[in-house]
Amino acid sequence: MASITETCTEVLPAVPGDITARWLESKLGHKIRSVSLSLTRSIFGTASKLFFTIEYADEVPDPNSRPTHICVKGVFDPAMAKSQPWTVDLAQREADFFDKLAPLIKNMGYPKGWWGGRSDTQGIVIMSDLVYEGCTFPPEVTSYPLERVLDGAAQIAALHARFWGKSQDDYPWISNDYDACAKFIIEPWDGVVREPGRPKLPEYLMDGARVKKALSKYFASRNPRFRTLVHGDAHLGNIYFTAEGRTCFLDWSAFHFASCFHDLVYFVTTTQTVEDRRAHEMEILDHYLATLHRLGGPKLDRNDEELMVEYKRSFMNHSVWFTCGYDLHPKERVDAFTERALAAWVDHKVIEVVEAY
């Protein structure tokens, strides 16, 4: 994984037009003859992904030593950066991932990074364009074959094993903004869950005060025995498949230290239908635990009652889907994830387990 991230004193590009051949040349270290922006593949959201094709001015012995098709990710909407500064923070965090963490991670797939940098007002990463590497992306809502879910769970285990038992004391620059963000998202619970068109919830989950109290209690009492660095947002919208069929992970802007099961249950619940999750959940958990140990993590077993309590409590992280705005994710995705999260909450008596802990 190539990674050269810098804290820049220069003014980084703020709009797509600022990304010129000369600017890319200065970051990639190769003379560029021309560069074209494929506007049809520009993806704008909380962060923008701009796709470029590069023609270099000279030849090199190893063409793989530099990219021809790239994705430049950052916040390229000045109005959004001004009105929603948290989007810039996310972009800066992803640049930090490619600089400080990606070089340490083995046995896990993520996009190849070529350059990244942050300034006070921007965070940018230059990555390989995954489409030109033969990668594919899942449809909005689907249930993956078991082998792909097992592979994703194993890759999550690789990340966790590398940072097992570590905390912000070891990495002071890694902050945890996830907890505050999750609490903010569910703050309007009572109103949102009653909006027309939202998935119907059982009566006990119409009580927003109860859910908020449970989420706060979970965040305040995560078992440090299972603490590690987590991706933080490992749902199906943040994965892709390589040409070889591997399950890999995108969007590294929410990483923080938390319970290992945060990632696992988020991934398993959103990548399978309710029926498939019920049929394979414990097999996936066993595979995760075995891989965790094989790659240097502790030897754990689901016959450990303390482990299973922490596992069930981690489903509280799904609370964000119940009130997630349709402006943040498509309604089809939000409603499907809410249905899957609700079934998991009922199956594992999540609220009750958290309250009893």
311 in a domain, yes or no? Answer: yes
What CATH number should be reported for the domain holding residue 96? 3.30.200.20
Cβ partners under 8 Å of residue 170, min gap 6? none
Provide the residue type at 168 as one letter: Q
Taking each helix axis from N to C end, the angle separating 274-294 and 261-271, rounded to the nearest 10 degrees, works out to: 140
What's the total number of domains in the chain? 2
Single out the residue in 71, 105, 131 at which a domain terminates.
131
pLDDT of residue 3: 40
> What rounded mean pLDDT belongs to the chain?
92
Sign of CA dihedral 224, 316, 278, 141: negative
- Residue-by-residue pLDDT tens, the chain, 357 positions: 344 445 556 889 999 999 999 999 999 999 999 988 775 555 666 678 999 999 999 999 998 899 999 999 999 989 888 888 888 999 999 999 998 999 999 999 999 999 989 999 999 999 999 999 999 998 768 888 999 999 999 999 999 999 999 999 999 999 999 999 999 999 999 999 999 999 999 999 999 999 999 999 999 999 999 999 999 999 998 999 999 999 999 999 999 999 999 999 999 999 999 999 999 999 999 999 999 999 999 999 999 999 999 999 999 999 999 999 898 888 999 999 999 999 999 999 999 999 998
H/E run at residue 75: none
- Are 299 and 193 within one domain? yes
Which residue type does 41 have? R
| DSSP bridge pairs for 247 | 241
Final residue before a domain boundary, out of 81, 96, 131: 131
My answer on whether 207 and 283 are in the same domain is yes
Buried/exposed code over 217-242 (b: 16+ C-beta within 10 A; e: otherwise) = ebbeebbeebbbbbbbbbbbbbbbbe
Q: Are residues 196 and 280 in the same domain?
A: yes
CB 161 within 8 Å of CB 263: no
- Structure-block tokens of residue 295: 């790659």
pTM score: 0.91
Domain assignment present for residue 138? The answer is: no
For residue 96, the enclosing domain spans 5-131
235 near 266, Cβ under 8 Å?
Answer: yes
| Other residues' Cβ atoms within 10 Å of the Cβ of residue 275 | 10
